Structure 1
Amino acid sequence: MTCLSMPEFVVLMDKVAEEVGFETVGGLHFPCEEEEFKEILMRCLRMHKMIAKGKRRRRSSSKVWNH
């Protein structure tokens, strides 16, 4: 869900809404080049990994302090 709040993704979804509306049948068409979409997804994946890594660190450090 982190990706959905990324500014790049929000802008892209706004463009989709302008182009096709919110109610469409079939596949979703993104008004950008394939490479641009891939880059947005890669940034999302990197952000997700960083957040997950931070959560693991907080959990492991809290275990140290609780013992």
Structure 2
Amino acid sequence: MMVMGYLLAPKKGGRRRRGKDQPSAAAHHGESDDGLRETLLEPAFRDLMERAADEFGFAQAGGLRVPCGEDDFEDLLRRLRRKNGGAAAAKAKKAIS
């Protein structure tokens, strides 16, 4: 299973592209999806995914856009890490690093 969420725009010429409508990182989960599954079951993360579906729809080409800034997403992962003892959020954090 692969999930891709955009949080950082790809680097172009060594510099990150930034723009109003540009994503701000790409998160990839490979073969092991245990941490992803735990993260997806969290109400706060599910709310974020519902907002993504409302704002961008389900037919997103190339990945999943998340309707929040990078700092907000990092904060959500920190809160999940504290709540779950670190397992799920740490895997999600590692995937976007």
- 1:16 matches 2:64: no
User: Counterpart of 1:42 in 2: which secondary structure?
Assistant: helix
Q: CA RMSD in A?
A: 2.0
TM-score if structure 1 supplies the norm length?
Answer: 0.59
Equivalent pairs counted in the alignment come to: 51
Q: Does 1:31 align with 2:67?
A: yes
Greater Rg, structure 1 or structure 2? 1
**Letter of the structure 2 residue corresponding to residue 4 of structure 1:** L
Q: Secondary structure at the match of 1:32?
A: coil
Percent identity, please.
Answer: 37
Deviation digits for residues 5-30 of structure 1 (CA, Å, limit 9, x no counterpart):
11110110001000111121023221
Separation in 1, partners of 2:76, 2:65: 15
Higher strand share: 2
Gaps of 5+ in 1: 52-67
SS of the aligned residue for 1:24 comes to: coil
Counterpart amino acid of 1:36?
Answer: D
Which is helix-richer, 1 or 2?
A: 1
